[in-house]
Amino acid sequence: MEIKDNEFSRQFETSIDGKLLSVEYSIQERKLFLTRINVPENTSEETVSEFLTRILDTAEQKKQKVVPTHPKVTAFFRKNPKYKELLPPGIRL
């Protein structure tokens, strides 16, 4: 899965069967806010999980803190406690 950081649109993108899967974001005070996820119809949960995993792995490499503001992203953090270290101090899920 190839993920593109479309800085102009402020979203991470990948193509799944010709359809766009994306996560919109904003960056404030060196924190990555994941604000919305756009999932094409019939996209598997495994595909969405892989997409989010790759985004969070990249954030970890860049030493960014991540603030999940979309329910699907928040649910992913709850299911994958290894990423809780990416949350800024004071953010609990």
Q: Residue 30: is its pLDDT beyond 90?
A: no
Please tell me the pTM assigned to this model: 0.89
Q: Residue 6: is its pLDDT beyond 90?
A: yes
How many angstroms separate the Cα of 26 from the Cα of each of 5, 31, 42, 43, 56?
12, 8, 27, 24, 14
Alpha carbon distance 43, 6 (integer Å) = 21
**Tens-place pLDDT, residues 31-70:** 999 999 999 999 999 999 999 999 999 999 999 999 999 9
Provide the pLDDT confidence category of residue 5 given band limits of 50, 70 and 90: very high
CATH: 2.40.50.140, 3.30.70.100, 3.40.50.1220, 3.40.630.30. Which one for 4-86?
3.40.630.30
Residue 29, pLDDT score: 86
Residue 60, pLDDT score: 94
